[in-house]
Amino acid sequence: MFTSKISGLGHYVPENVVTNDDLSKVMDTNDTWIQERTGIKERRHIKKGDGNSTSVMAVKASTIALERANLSPEDIDMIVFATLSPDMYFPGGGVQVQELMGMRTIPALDVRNQCSGFVYAMSVADQFVKTGMYKNILVIGAENHSGGLDFTTRGRSVSVIFGDGAGAAVVSRNEGEGGILSTHLHSEGEHKDQLSLQGPSTEYWVPEIIEKNPQEDIPYYPYMNGQFVFKHAVVRFAEVINEGLKANNLEASDIDMLIPHQANLRISQFIQKKMRLRDDQVFNNIQKYGNTTAASIPIALSEAWEEGKIKKGDLVVLAAFGSGFTWGSVIMRW
């Protein structure tokens, strides 16, 4: 059995900054509400004509990750791509990255686990590297939310939260100490409707949606039962971090850097307090980018690394919770 490690990280966000004040011009919201409830000051949105899409942003982040891993596209043995906002309904984003980066006819696997997507994707990559089947796997989280949100007052409790962006990690066979120590994944489908986008789908086909009166509750915008999700998130985050620590005989005080999925700054602060972590043990950047779902952890991890906040030998923990519900953690020695 081998072990795996992250050999390169990269991230990309669109240039177009959308502030809370910008949103308050198109819907009934305000900077105070958004900052007090979520911690978000601004987010990035793809601008029509800027050339970005989910897969294009994924390629931009991946190119940086590959450079930092000192690898070229032909060195990659597999792509694992997590997104809930692919460019096309099918095929998934993985094959688009394979084409755009001129990669060999390697497998491209798409992961549909929303906010937990990157953690699930890391776990998949870890298993393939551990068994010796592959040496270098490109793991991506990328989202284009802005095109599919309701920017009227009706959608304000969801649309002010989400942003666009991409992050990527190269997971490679580990020749030294440490690397990924363990991954832990969970789901609870009974809460699938609490944070969901129901159509277009085989339940709500496009003609049916078009026929419906726009005044009806048409399920083509995301729905979130915010308080219900919040309450479950704070419990599951702490639970799955502790599960990972316990599996490795570690304590919360051993964590050098916790990168929580950037769902809401209040959730991160709640977990930090619950786990008695210092400010320097937790990284948050939701203030600048909003919640970028599957992209939030790799963007935050890449930014923390760039800022020199992750050093060799550090215990790094990734943790996520979101739609499904799904949740998970990755425990790594850098």
Binding mask 145-174 for ligand UT7 (x = CB under 6 A): -----------xx--x--------------
Residue type for position 225? N
Binding mask 301-330 for ligand UT7 (x = CB under 6 A): ---------------------x--------
- How far apart (Å, rounded) are the C-alpha atoms in residues 2 and 4? 7
- How far apart (Å, rounded) are the C-alpha atoms in residues 108 and 95? 6
Shortest CB 120 distance to ligand UT7, Å: 14
Determine which residue in the list 291, 292, 326, 329 makes contact with ligand UT7, applying CB under 6 A: 291
- How far apart (Å, rounded) are the C-alpha atoms in residues 261 and 284? 9
- Determine if the peptide bond prior to 325 is cis (ω within 30°): yes
Residue number with the smallest Cβ distance to ligand UT7: 226
Any residues with CB less than 8 A from the CB of 163 and at least 6 apart, and which? 13, 18, 43, 44, 45, 145, 146, 289, 290, 291, 292
Shortest CB 134 distance to ligand UT7, Å: 30
Tell me whether residue 4 or residue 146 sits nearer to ligand UT7 (CB atom).
146
Angle at 74 between CA 68 and CA 77, to 5 degrees: 90
Tell me whether residue 115 or residue 129 sits nearer to ligand UT7 (CB atom).
115
Annotation says 213 is catalytic: no
Provide the 10 A C-beta neighbour count for residue 165: 33
Annotation says 291 is catalytic: yes
Tell me whether residue 178 or residue 226 sits nearer to ligand UT7 (CB atom).
226
Tell me whether residue 52 or residue 113 sits nearer to ligand UT7 (CB atom).
113
Cα-flanking dihedrals φ and ψ of residue 70, to 5°?
60, 40
Query: Residue for token digits 């979520």?
Result: 38
Determine which residue in the list 230, 235, 247, 287 makes contact with ligand UT7, applying CB under 6 A: 230
The active-site residue, picked from 145, 261, 264, 285, is 261
- How far apart (Å, rounded) are the C-alpha atoms in residues 6 and 8? 6
- How far apart (Å, rounded) are the C-alpha atoms in residues 32 and 53? 31
Binding mask 120-149 for ligand UT7 (x = CB under 6 A): ------------------------------
Q: Which residues are known to be catalytic?
A: 115, 261, 291
**Which residue ranges make up the site for ligand UT7 (CB under 6 A)?**
29, 33-34, 37-38, 115, 156-157, 160, 226-227, 229-230, 233, 263-264, 267, 291, 322
